[in-house]
Each structure stands twice: as C-alpha cells, then as structure tokens.
Amino acid sequence: MSKDARNKDLELSPAEKKQFDELVALLAKRGFGEEGPPRETAFAQIEQFGHQAGQMVARAIDARLAEQHATHFVGEEPCPTCGEKHLPNESPHNLELQTEDGEVKLREPAFHCPPCERDFFPSTHPVAD
Ligand SMILES: [Zn+2]
C-alpha cells in the first residue's frame, strides 16, 4: 500500500506547515472539542470525521482554484463549432459539479455563439466538443 497515491503529501514550507497544522487543529476541535475525542471513541469515528473534514477542504480548494482559473476567460473566446470569437455573457453560468468529494458550486464564464445557436464554456471545457 506504500505506493498508494492517497499517502502522497504536498510539500509545504515550515510557515505553510504551521498554517496547515492550525487548520487541522481548528477542524479537529470542531469535530471533538477542545479536549479531543472521549475515551470510548472508536477509531472509525475519528476516521469518519477526518474524511468528512477532508472532503470539505477539497471542495473549498476546488471552488477557489476554479474561481481563480475563471479569471482567464474575460475576453473573446472562439466558438468550438465555427471559431468565431465572442465576448463572455454578462452573467456566468452557475454550475453544480459532482466531484469525488461531493458537490462543488462553480460560476463558470459562459459564452454564446448566435450563428451556431450554442453556448460554450471554455474554462471548464477547454477542448472543442
Ligand atoms: Zn459558432
């Protein structure tokens, strides 16, 4: 199991590691209080909480990175069908994406090509479809 990708930690600087440890302490406290899990706690309960907290963190990272990534799509983008360039719509498309860690709500830049009568979303679908 040592080659399991789940065991691959990110490399963090000492300052980042300190902040990471603080986040872990904050979430652990949220789950089991200041004193930690009571004596009768089964490890499975600890593991279940850790997994829930981890998925929450994963969803937040997904949403943050997708929001940052979306800022690249403020100008004209080519229609995947005809190649004609269009500016993004005034309102982004609200998308509820199902990920391995649960539902992530995104606001993806939306484009419309009148000649092709199609919408396109180059931030989440970079390859023509
Ligand atoms: Zn088109």
68-80 pLDDT, tens per residue? 999 999 999 999 9
User: Ligand 1 centre from 25 Cα, in Å?
Assistant: 51
User: Ligand 1 centre from 12 Cα, in Å?
Assistant: 45
Share of the chain above pLDDT 90, in %: 89
Q: Which long-range contacts (CB under 8 A, 24 or more apart) does 113-122 make?
A: 113/79, 113/81, 113/82, 113/84, 113/86, 115/79, 115/82, 115/84, 116/79, 116/81, 116/82, 116/84, 118/79, 118/81, 119/93, 120/77, 120/79, 120/80, 121/93, 122/73, 122/77, 122/80
Give me the residues near ligand 1 (ion), CB cutoff below 5 Å. Answer: 79, 81-82, 113, 116
**pLDDT value of residue 60:** 97
User: Ligand 1 centre from 34 Cα, in Å?
Assistant: 58
Which pTM does this prediction carry?
0.84
Residue 6 has pLDDT above 90, yes or no: no
**pLDDT value of residue 2:** 54
Convert the pLDDT of each residue in 78-95 to its tens digit. Answer: 999 999 999 999 999 999
